[in-house]
Structure 1
Amino acid sequence: MLWGVSGPLFLLDYLGAVAVALAVALAARELTGRRARGATPDPVELAYLTDRALLACQVGMAALHRAGVVRRGELATLSVDGPPPPRSPALVRALHAALRRPQTWAAVLADPGVGRALRRLVGRLVRDGWLLTPAQRRRIALGTLPLFAVAVVGVTRLVESAVEGRDAGGPASVVGLLLCCLATALGGWWLCEVPETGAAARRLLRRQRRQHAALDPQRRPAWRERSTDELLTAMALFGPRPLLAVDPGLAVQVGVDPERGRPTPEPKPARR
C-alpha cells in the first residue's frame, strides 16, 4: 500500500523493507558455497583463490626459481635448465614444460599446456567447493532482486505523487525517500558483482592470513632466510611482492608491479 501512510511513516517502512532485502542478499552471498570438500588447497591453488590465474602462475614461477632452474635470457625471455621440484603441482610442471625453450612471459601464459593446467586447477576447485558453480553464482545474483524491487516501490511513490499530485510528505520526506531509493539501487548494483570464490574459500583465506600474519610483506620478513614453502605461502595469501625481494628482475619480468599492494578481497571474475 503506497498511499495510506504519511511521508515519514512510509520512509520508516521503506527503510525496514530495505533492511530485510539487504539481509536476504547478504545471506545468499554468505551461505552459498559455505561448505567445501577435499584437502586444503596448496599454495598454487590458494594463489588462484586470492587473485586468479596470474598470481597462480607467478607462484609457480617462484617455485621453479627456488629450485634453481629458471634462467633469464635476452629479449626478456625465460627458460629452465633442470628438472622441476619433486612432487610439483600440475601448473608448476606445465610452466616448466613451457620454458624448455626460451619464451617471453606473455608466451608462457598463452602456452596451451599452461592453459590446460589452469582449467584443470579451476575444475578441481569448483568440484571441491572452493569456487562457485554458475548455478551458485546465479543464485547469489537473484538474491539482489528484492533490493531492486524495494527501490522500484519507492520510485513509484515519488513518480505517481509528482504526476497525480498525491501527497508524498514534506520536502524532508521526499528528499529522504529519493536518497534512500538511490542508495538502494546502488547497493543492489554493487551486490550484483558476484564473487567467484565461495564462502568457504573466503573463510579459508581469512584464517590462513591470520595464521601466517608474520609473512605479511608489510612486516618486511627476511625472505632470503625463509623456506620455499613460506615464500610460496606468503605470495599465495598476500600477493606477489615477496618475489621482488628475492629476485627483483625476475619479479618484474613475470608481471609483478612494484607499486601494487596486496590483491583486493573480491576482484572481478577472470576465470580462464
Structure 2
Amino acid sequence: MLWGVSGPLFLLDYLAAVAGALAVALAVRAATGRRVRGAEPDTVELAYLTDRAGLACQVGVAALRRAGVVHLGGLATMSVDGPPPPRSAQLVRALHAALRRPQTWAAVLADPTVGRALRRLVGRLVRDGWLLTPAQRRRVALATVPLFAVAAVGVTRLVDSAVEHRDAGTPASVAGLLLCCLATALGGWWLCEVPETGAAARRLLRRRRRSLAELNPELRPTYAGRGTDELLAAAAVFGPRPLLAIDPRFAVQIGVDPERTRPTTPPKLARR
C-alpha cells in the first residue's frame, strides 16, 4: 500500500507535501518580474497594466478630451480640432492621428496607427520588466507542476487501495484525502492562470490604488470637485467608471457602461 503508513499519517504527510509545493509555486510567482528598469509607467501605461488595451485607449482619448481637442459628432463619431497636448504619450498621439477625420470608437480601436502605438507600448513595458515575457510566464506556470504531482500521489494511493482491496485508513481519512486531492488539483489549475504583469507592476498598482482609495468606484465615492488629472489616474487603476464624472456622454461613447465598472471594449487588443 502507498505505502506502509496509516491513513491519518499519510494524510498528514500529504498535507505537508502540498504546503511545500504551494510555497514553491507562490514563491516563483512572487519573485518573477520583481526587477524593473526605466521610469515608472505613466497614466496610460498604468491603464494598460490594469486592464490592457481597451482601458489604455479610453484613458488616452479622455486625456485628449480633457485638453479640449476631441469633439463629439453625429452618428456616434468623434474628431479632433487642434494639436495634441505637449509631451503627450505615444498612444495619445496615435489616437489623435486616428481622429483627424470623424471616426466611431470601434474604428479608432481598429486604426493601424493605434495598433502600432499599442505594440510599442507593450514592447516598452516588457523590455522594462513591468509585463512578463513568454519565458517568464512559462516559468510561473511550470512552478505549479509539483502541486499536480502531489495530487497524483494521493490519487494513486486511493486507486491502489481500491483496486488491491487494501486498507487506506478510516473512512474519515479516505474522505479527507479525496477532498485534499481535489483541492490540490483545483489550486494548481487556478495557479496555472499566470498574470501578464510582473511582481513589481502588481506592487505598483496596489500602491496607486491605496493612494487613490477614496476614488474607488466600489465605494461609491463622490467625484464632484475632483480634478480631471485625479479622475484620469483613478480610471487608470480602477477601471473606466471615473471617466463618467468627467463627461458622461463622452464616456458612454467610448464604451464605458454606467452600470458596470469594466470596459465593454475587448481588453486584450494588443496582447503579445
User: How far has the Cα of 1:123 moved from its partner?
Assistant: 0.4
Query: 1:191-217, CA deviations, whole angstroms, 9 ceiling, x for partnerless residues?
Result: 000000000000011111122324334
Contact 2:144 2:188 (C-alpha < 8 Å) held by counterparts: yes
Partner of 1:88: 88
Matches within 5 A, 1:79-228: 79-217=79-217, 218=219, 220-223=221-224, 225-228=225-228
Structure 2 length-normalised TM: 0.94
Query: 1:67-104, CA deviations, whole angstroms, 9 ceiling, x for partnerless residues?
Result: 11111112111111111111100000000000011111
Secondary structure (helix, strand or coil) at the match of 1:187 reads helix
Read off the aligned partner of 1:133 and give its amino acid letter: T
Secondary structure (helix, strand or coil) at the match of 1:53 reads helix
Distance 1:114 1:162 in 2: 60
Read off the aligned partner of 1:10 and give its amino acid letter: F
Contact 1:193 1:268 (C-alpha < 8 Å) held by counterparts: no
RMSD (Å), alpha carbons: 1.8
Contact 2:228 2:246 (C-alpha < 8 Å) held by counterparts: no
Contact 1:99 1:108 (C-alpha < 8 Å) held by counterparts: yes
1:234 aligns to 2:224 (yes or no):
no
Distance 1:107 1:262 in 2: 20
Secondary structure (helix, strand or coil) at the match of 1:79 reads strand
User: How far has the Cα of 1:260 moved from its partner?
Assistant: 1.8
Contact 1:196 1:269 (C-alpha < 8 Å) held by counterparts: no
Secondary structure (helix, strand or coil) at the match of 2:75 reads helix
Q: Which moved more, 1:36-45 or 1:210-219?
A: 210-219
User: How far has the Cα of 1:35 moved from its partner?
Assistant: 1.3
Distance 1:46 1:104 in 2: 25
Distance 1:269 1:249 in 2: 24
Distance 2:269 2:125 in 1: 15
Distance 1:33 1:268 in 2: 20
Read off the aligned partner of 1:57 and give its amino acid letter: C
Secondary structure (helix, strand or coil) at the match of 1:71 reads strand
User: How far has the Cα of 1:166 moved from its partner?
Assistant: 1.5
Distance 1:62 1:197 in 2: 24
Q: Unmatched 5+ residue regions in structure 2?
A: none
Secondary structure (helix, strand or coil) at the match of 1:241 reads coil
Read off the aligned partner of 2:79 and give its amino acid letter: S
Q: Unmatched 5+ residue regions in structure 1?
A: none
Read off the aligned partner of 1:182 and give its amino acid letter: L
Distance 2:76 2:261 in 1: 24
Distance 2:262 2:83 in 1: 31
Distance 2:223 2:121 in 1: 31
Partner of 1:15: 15
Distance 1:62 1:268 in 2: 19
CA 1:27–1:49 in 2, change beyond 3 Å: closer, same or farther?
Answer: same
User: How far has the Cα of 1:259 moved from its partner?
Assistant: 1.9
1:28 aligns to 2:28 (yes or no):
yes
Distance 2:185 2:143 in 1: 14
Read off the aligned partner of 2:26 and give its amino acid letter: L
Contact 1:59 1:235 (C-alpha < 8 Å) held by counterparts: yes
User: How far has the Cα of 1:268 moved from its partner?
Assistant: 8.7
Contact 1:80 1:99 (C-alpha < 8 Å) held by counterparts: yes
Partner of 1:271: 271
Structure 1 length-normalised TM: 0.94
Distance 1:221 1:129 in 2: 35
Q: Percent identity?
A: 82
User: How far has the Cα of 1:246 moved from its partner?
Assistant: 1.6
Distance 2:158 2:6 in 1: 13
